[in-house]
């Protein structure tokens, strides 16, 4: 093997691999190309070393750069790998490329190089928010942030991924015509002083037959390298945004707080989202039309009711109309002409990007968050529009990259809130936040509509867009942080919600199967109480994400699998999603699920229907538009056993504390445990020669029904704990 080929025993091969550094010395642009690892190459004023180490079955690659002259060099980009597209045994047109978006709301999915749903709205706003490296040569370029997986069916996959992300933004670029594959670190023109050295982020290159496993391995790897924070407890809560959209008053919050108590809803965090402040940046200037007595009494009530107080901010912005900007016009990132750089336009108001390399900005950030914790008792912080801190421009510290500037800002917030507060990133560039945030929004906003009002923008608020990213980024959960799929809406259809029952159940099911943060955002004070049963079926989160099995087959994955294993049993919960606007027939095969061969009971959760036993496949003849069929697969047992409960979408994963079979006495003991109050059913399978004698709930005999031979069902109201004991005899 010569130095410019990277290969794996069973393929693929990367030929003509080199590394390239673009930099300036004075005004003159220079390009340095390296074709051999571990041999220094000298350019005008810059020495470069391309490093390669074996890692797993693959490689780690990075560059070490040293300013070797007597003047600083200005570093633009460092390609730790560039080559023609590799030979994956199939032409690029047949490939699926996992394309990860830049920030929380940016699209992520395994893009089909031909016939894709990907659309680039091409507007300046879209570029500012989603295309951090946009340049005029973007046509025909696929750019993926930090990680890409190239997959040629049936079984050739190549992972190109950065396993460090603190110092430089990094992307994998692929030309759709196959002419170029590049893994690039962005150095943003920072100066390297004479004698100084710098290293790029580390690229991990790996190949294998299973692209989903490679993506999961990357998430494990970068999480480990960057010290990901993965709390063991997954937050639940209620958020003001998706009903009130900022118009909520203090009384609205207090009404919802009371309703949560009255209905005994197991929701912890009360998140006061956007709208309480008079302007972005003026976080202690409370809008007294909405909060007449300020934030304190509301905060006090939230805490007194035993909830965690959550506060939304967009900490790296200063509205053009804010007191903050008026007082500190010098705190913003500047463009070449010296004008403040707009981070984003917030509901019509331009917000300038704060310069997080400025010591006064960092001190102000710390003071702001310390005060929120101290004065309001907030312990949950949703920090939004974080990409503003990484907007291109001039900064106080000219040696800081965009990634470093962003990270310094988030670090200041983490210092201020303490280690025990929950920090939720939103609108956040993903890589530099790893190790600092506890949770991360990984998709666009949910919305009362299924389809976005403006189609062809995969980041437009809509239930469909939010769910897509939550599914395609499911492998990040518990590896980079806890995923936040955005809020669950269960209110009845009407002027405030356009989701039909199947769509609302899909939102509920997917959020429940993905096991991440679970916040409701209805006006609970007005909701029809009957709708709360859906919310309860998603609570609490399991903490574990289902795997999107067909991630690399479909741009909108349809198949989620959550394996559950307890010492008293093992089962699989499947979410089969119909994204089509029409009824389809769907076949779910055991082989596609990777289940061990055997016979399985199948339960159709939302329809509360037992589908019988299969050793092969389940066919859903009328899989309705936007319906998620939640199917339970439970191995057939030769003695009475628990089939399922209807208290949670994951069917036993959270509410069944124990399940014991006492063969000698023919007794099945089931201990149920769940916060709140909820009615539901427990379903049991009763194989021959057993027959049920009686069922008791907390000692009292209960009626039961047999919906099919060999099956029985008992209804009960679960308040905290219940014990179900069924007695059987041999016939």
Identity of the residue, 75 or 440, whose beta carbon is nearer to ligand 9PG in the bound complex: 440
Q: Which residue among 445, 457, 484, 641 is the active-site one?
A: 445
Residue nearest to ligand 9PG (CB): 274
SS3 494: strand
Interface residue list for ligand 9PG (CB under 6 A) = 105, 241, 273-274, 312, 384, 426-427, 445
384 is a catalytic site residue: yes
Annotate 29-64 with b (16+ C-beta within 10 A) or e (fewer): ebebebeebeeebebebbbbbbbbeebeebbbbbbe
Q: Which residues contact 327 (CB under 8 A, 6 or more apart)?
A: none
SS3 573: strand
Beta strands 6-7 and 13-14: pairing type? antiparallel
SS3 207: strand
For residue 449, how many other CB atoms are within 10 A of its CB? 17
Identity of the residue, 105 or 352, whose beta carbon is nearer to ligand 9PG in the bound complex: 105
In this structure, what are the phi and psi dihedrals at residue 717, rounded to the nearest 5 degrees? -105, 125
Beta strands 203-208 and 58-67: pairing type? antiparallel
For residue 643, how many other CB atoms are within 10 A of its CB? 23
Question: Shortest gap between Cβ of 241 and ligand 9PG (angstroms)?
Answer: 5
Beta strands 342-346 and 349-353: pairing type? antiparallel
SS3 122: coil
Q: How far apart are CA 113 and CA 153, in angstroms?
A: 13
Identity of the residue, 170 or 466, whose beta carbon is nearer to ligand 9PG in the bound complex: 466
Q: How far apart are CA 637 and CA 728, in angstroms?
A: 15
Task: Report which of 215, 172, 159, 115 is spatially closest to residue 554, judged by C-alpha positions.
Answer: 115
Identity of the residue, 362 or 426, whose beta carbon is nearer to ligand 9PG in the bound complex: 426
- Torsion, Cα 215 218 220 224, to 10 degrees, reads -160
Question: Shortest gap between Cβ of 445 and ligand 9PG (angstroms)?
Answer: 5
Identity of the residue, 181 or 524, whose beta carbon is nearer to ligand 9PG in the bound complex: 524
Question: Shortest gap between Cβ of 444 and ligand 9PG (angstroms)?
Answer: 7
What are 435's two structure tokens?
């190790």
329 class by beta-carbon count within 10 Å (0-12 exposed, 13-18 middle, 19+ buried): exposed
SS3 505: helix
SS3 362: helix
Question: Shortest gap between Cβ of 489 and ligand 9PG (angstroms)?
Answer: 12
Identity of the residue, 340 or 427, whose beta carbon is nearer to ligand 9PG in the bound complex: 427
SS3 87: strand
Q: How far apart are CA 6 and CA 3, in angstroms?
A: 8
Question: Shortest gap between Cβ of 111 and ligand 9PG (angstroms)?
Answer: 22
Identity of the residue, 411 or 445, whose beta carbon is nearer to ligand 9PG in the bound complex: 445
What are 60's two structure tokens?
């780690």
Identity of the residue, 233 or 347, whose beta carbon is nearer to ligand 9PG in the bound complex: 347
Q: How far apart are CA 492 and CA 500, in angstroms?
A: 9
Identity of the residue, 5 or 123, whose beta carbon is nearer to ligand 9PG in the bound complex: 123
Question: Shortest gap between Cβ of 506 and ligand 9PG (angstroms)?
Answer: 20
Identity of the residue, 312 or 552, whose beta carbon is nearer to ligand 9PG in the bound complex: 312
SS3 474: helix
Q: How far apart are CA 142 and CA 79, in angstroms?
A: 16
Provide, for the chain, the percentages of residues in helix, strand and coil under a 3-state DSSP scheme, each rounded to the nearest 5: 20, 40, 40
Question: Shortest gap between Cβ of 373 and ligand 9PG (angstroms)?
Answer: 20
Q: Which residue among 384, 447, 457, 641 is the active-site one?
A: 384
335 is a catalytic site residue: no
Question: Shortest gap between Cβ of 486 and ligand 9PG (angstroms)?
Answer: 6
Taken in order 469, 471, 472, 476, the sign of the CA dihedral is positive
Q: How far apart are CA 700 and CA 237, in angstroms?
A: 34
Question: Shortest gap between Cβ of 526 and ligand 9PG (angstroms)?
Answer: 21
Question: Shortest gap between Cβ of 586 and ligand 9PG (angstroms)?
Answer: 32
The set of catalytic residues is 384, 445
């Amino acid at each position: 093997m010569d130095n410019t080929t990277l290969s794996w025993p069973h393929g693929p091969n990367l030929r003509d691999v080199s590394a390239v550094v673009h930099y300036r010395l004075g005004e003159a642009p220079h390009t340095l190309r390296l074709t051999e690892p571990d041999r220094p190459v000298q350019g005008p004023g810059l020495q470069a070393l391309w490093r390669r180490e074996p890692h797993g079955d693959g490689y780690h690659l990075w560059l070490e750069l040293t300013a070797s002259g007597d003047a600083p060099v200005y570093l633009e980009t460092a390609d730790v790998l560039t080559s023609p597209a590799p030979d994956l045994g199939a032409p690029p047109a047949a490939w699926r490329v996992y394309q990860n978006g830049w920030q929380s709301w940016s699209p992520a999915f395994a893009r089909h190089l031909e016939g894709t749903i990907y659309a680039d709205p091409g507007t300046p706003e879209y570029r500012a928010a989603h295309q951090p490296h946009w340049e005029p040569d973007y046509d025909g370029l696929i750019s993926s942030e930090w990680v890409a997986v190239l997959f040629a069916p049936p079984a050739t996959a190549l992972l190109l991924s950065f396993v460090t992300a603190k110092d430089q933004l990094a992307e994998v670029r692929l030309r759709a015509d196959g002419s170029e594959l590049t893994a690039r670190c962005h150095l943003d023109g920072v100066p390297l002083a004479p004698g100084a050295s710098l290293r790029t982020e580390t690229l991990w290159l790996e190949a294998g037959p299973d692209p989903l496993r490679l993506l999961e391995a990357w998430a494990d790897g970068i999480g480990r390298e960057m010290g990901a924070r993965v709390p063991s407890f997954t937050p639940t809560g209620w958020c003001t945004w998706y009903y009130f959209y900022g118009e909520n008053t203090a009384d609205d919050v207090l009404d919802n707080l009371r309703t949560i108590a009255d209905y005994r809803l197991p929701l912890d965090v009360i998140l006061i989202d956007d709208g309480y402040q008079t302007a972005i940046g003026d976080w202690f200037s409370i809008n007294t039309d909405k909060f007449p007595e300020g934030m304190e009494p509301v905060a006090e009530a939230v805490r007194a009711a035993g909830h965690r107080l959550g506060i939304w901010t967009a900490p790296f912005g200063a509205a053009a109309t804010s007191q903050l900007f008026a007082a500190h016009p010098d705190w913003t990132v500047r463009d070449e002409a010296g004008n403040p750089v707009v981070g984003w336009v917030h509901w019509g108001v331009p917000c300038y990007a704060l310069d997080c390399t400025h010591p006064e900005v960092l001190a102000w950030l710390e003071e702001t968050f310390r005060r929120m914790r101290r004065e309001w008792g907030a312990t949950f912080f949703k920090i939004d529009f974080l990409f503003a801190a990484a907007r291109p421009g001039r900064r106080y510290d000219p040696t800081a990259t965009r990634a470093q500037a962003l990270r310094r800002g988030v670090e200041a917030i983490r210092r201020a809130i303490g280690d025990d507060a929950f920090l939720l990133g939103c609108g956040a560039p993903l890589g530099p936040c790893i190790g600092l945030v506890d949770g991360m929004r990984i998709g666009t906003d949910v919305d009362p509509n299924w389809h976005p009002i403006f189609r062809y923008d995969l980041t437009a608020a809509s239930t469909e867009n939010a769910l897509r990213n939550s599914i395609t980024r499911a492998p990040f959960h518990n590896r980079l942080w806890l995923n936040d799929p955005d809020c669950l809406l269960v209110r009845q259809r009407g002027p405030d919600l356009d989701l039909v029952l199947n769509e609302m159940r899909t939102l509920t099911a997917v959020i429940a199967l993905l096991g991440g943060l679970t916040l409701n955002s209805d006006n609970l004070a007005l909701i029809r109480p009957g709708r709360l049963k859906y919310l309860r079926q998603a609570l609490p989160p399991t903490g574990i994400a289902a795997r999107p099995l067909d991630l690399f087959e479909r741009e909108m994955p349809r198949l989620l699998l959550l394996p559950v294993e307890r010492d008293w049993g093992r089962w699989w919960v499947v979410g089969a999603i119909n994204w089509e606007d029409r009824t389809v027939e769907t076949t779910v095969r055991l082989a596609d699920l990777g289940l061990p061969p055997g016979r399985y009971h199948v339960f159709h959760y939302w329809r509360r229907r037992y589908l019988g036993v299969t050793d092969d496949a389940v066919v859903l003849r009328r899989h309705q538009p936007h319906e998620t069929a939640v199917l339970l697969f439970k191995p057939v047992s030769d003695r009475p056993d628990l089939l399922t409960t209807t208290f949670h979408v994951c069917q036993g994963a959270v509410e069944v504390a124990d399940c014991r079979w006492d063969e000698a006495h023919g007794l099945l003991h089931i201990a149920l445990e769940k916060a709140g109050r909820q009615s539901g059913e427990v379903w049991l399978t009763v194989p021959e020669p057993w027959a049920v004698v009686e069922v008791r709930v907390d000692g009292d005999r209960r009626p039961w029904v047999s919906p099919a031979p060999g099956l029985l069902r008992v209804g009960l109201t679960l308040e905290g704990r219940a014990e179900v004991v069924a007695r059987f005899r041999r016939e």
